[in-house]
Amino acid sequence: MQVRPVEGAAGVARRPEAFIWRGRLYVVRDVLAQWRERRAWWREALDADGGGGPVVPGGSLAAAASEQQVWRVEASPGWSFAPGVYDLAHDEGAQGEQWQLVRVAD
């Protein structure tokens, strides 16, 4: 799933205004909730070296301690469509700023 949010005003935590999913532009109608949660560090530790080699001791400590901002939003691909509920995760890590669609609850 490719998600590319269009962000609002700059700040500590930028509120997503829209995102592209499955080739469609979804406009955020409302922000229902916002929280911080730990990232899936165990996946990052395995992916860091290609997903099969040995994990360097202590190499995943920074990933384990990092968190991401999650926005639960109500969005729809147009005004004539019923809105759905989507969770978008925002992460500013060593690889730069990244957004990801983590949950969909239509």
Closest residue by Cα to residue 75 from 17, 35, 11: 17
Q: Is residue 66 part of a domain?
A: yes
* Residues 37-57 as b or e (16 or more Cβ within 10 Å = b): eebeeeebbeeeeeeeeeeee
Q: Containing domain of residue 76, as a range?
A: 18-48+57-105
* Residue 15: predicted pLDDT: 81
Task: Tell me the whole-structure pTM to 2 decimals.
Answer: 0.67
Q: Is residue 95 in some structural domain?
A: yes
CA distance 4 to 16: 10
Residue 4 inside a domain? The answer is no
Q: Is residue 41 part of a domain?
A: yes
User: Do residues 65 and 93 make contact, with C-beta atoms less than 8 angstroms apart?
Assistant: no
Residue 22 located in a structural domain: yes
100 in any annotated domain: yes
Does residue 12 form part of some domain?
no
* Residue 32 pLDDT grade (very low, low, confident, very high; cuts 50, 70, 90): very high
| Residue range 63-90, pLDDT digits in tens | 555 788 899 999 999 888 999 999 998 8
- Provide the number of structural domains found in the chain: 1
Helix (H) or strand (E) holding 46: helix 41-47
